[in-house]
C-alpha cells in the first residue's frame, strides 16, 4: 500500500524528459522547511513581532505618568504613541529630541499644542492642561533601522525604542 510505503516510486520510462527524481526529493524537503518558516513568520507577524500586535505594544510607567507605544514599526507605516499625565498643574511640556524626529514623523498631536520651540536639538511642545491629561501622537516611520531616544513629559524621562522594518 502506498500509505505504508512512503518511498518515492523509481520508474523506467521511454519519455524524453529529464525527471531528476533526486532533485524532486530534495525540493520536497526544502518545501517543507520553507512552509515551516513561512508559517512561523505568519505566527510572529500575528503576535506583533513585525508591528501591530500584542508583542509590539509597550507601556512604561514612571512617577505615575505613562506612555503607550509600539516597539516594532514599519517604514511609512503609521502608529500611535499616547502619554497619560497626571497631576498636571497648568501645562504639559513634551520634549522630543530631533534625533527621534529624524526617524519618526509626528503627523499629528491631539490636543494641539499651544506653542513649540526647538532648543539644543530638542523640540518641546507645550499644552495648556490641568489634572489628568492624555496626549496622543500619530507617528509615521520615515527611515528604517533602530532608534532609541529619551522623550520627557513634564521632566519625566521615557526611553522610547523602536525597531523600524523596511
Partner 1 sequence: MNPVIRGLIIYLFLMLVFRLSGKRTLAQTTPFELVLLLIISEVTQQALVGEDYSITTSLILITTLIGVDLLVSVIKQRSRSFEQVTEGSPLVVVADGKLLQNRAVKSRVSEEDVLEAARNLHGLERLDQIKYAVLELDGTISIIPK
Contact set with partner 1 (CB under 8 A): 2-3, 5-9, 11, 13, 15, 17-21, 23-24, 27-28, 30-31, 34-35, 38, 75-76, 144, 166
Using the minimum distance from each CB to partner 1, give the nearer residue, 75 or 114: 75
Using the minimum distance from each CB to partner 1, give the nearer residue, 13 or 117: 13
Using the minimum distance from each CB to partner 1, give the nearer residue, 120 or 146: 146
**Residue 46: enclosing H or E segment and its boundaries?**
helix 21-47
- Minimum separation from the CB atom of position 57 to partner 1 (A): 24
Q: What's the full length of the chain, in residues?
A: 166
Using the minimum distance from each CB to partner 1, give the nearer residue, 30 or 44: 30
The whole-angstrom separation of Cα 125 and Cα 123 is 7
- Minimum separation from the CB atom of position 68 to partner 1 (A): 26
- Minimum separation from the CB atom of position 1 to partner 1 (A): 8
CB 73 within 8 A of CB 162: yes
CB 95 within 8 A of CB 156: no
DSSP, residue by residue, 71-98? SEEEBT-EEEEEEEEEEE-SEEEEEEEH
- Minimum separation from the CB atom of position 8 to partner 1 (A): 5
The whole-angstrom separation of Cα 142 and Cα 125 is 21
Using the minimum distance from each CB to partner 1, give the nearer residue, 20 or 59: 20
The whole-angstrom separation of Cα 40 and Cα 160 is 28
In the three-class reduction of DSSP (H, G, I as helix; E, B as strand; rest coil), residue 27 is classed as helix
- Minimum separation from the CB atom of position 9 to partner 1 (A): 5
Amino acid at each position: 500500500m502506498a500509505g505504508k510505503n512512503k518511498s518515492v516510486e523509481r520508474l523506467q520510462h521511454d519519455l524524453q524528459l529529464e525527471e531528476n527524481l533526486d532533485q524532486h526529493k530534495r525540493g520536497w524537503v526544502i518545501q517543507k522547511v520553507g512552509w515551516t518558516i513561512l508559517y512561523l513568520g505568519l505566527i510572529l507577524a500575528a503576535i506583533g513581532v513585525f508591528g501591530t500586535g500584542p508583542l509590539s505594544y509597550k507601556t512604561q510607567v514612571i512617577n505615575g505618568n505613562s506612555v503607550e507605544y509600539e516597539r516594532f514599526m514599519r517604514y511609512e507605516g503609521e502608529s500611535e504613541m499616547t502619554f497619560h499625565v497626571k497631576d498636571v498643574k497648568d501645562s504639559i511640556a513634551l520634549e522630543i529630541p530631533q534625533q527621534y524626529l529624524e526617524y519618526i514623523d509626528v503627523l499629528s498631536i491631539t490636543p494641539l499644542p499651544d506653542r513649540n520651540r526647538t532648543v539644543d536639538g530638542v523640540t518641546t511642545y507645550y499644552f495648556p492642561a490641568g489634572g489628568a491629561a492624555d496626549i496622543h501622537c500619530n507617528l509615521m516611520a520615515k527611515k528604517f533601522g533602530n532608534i532609541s531616544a529619551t522623550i520627557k513629559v513634564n521632566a519625566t524621562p521615557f526611553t522610547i525604542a523602536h525597531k523600524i522594518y523596511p
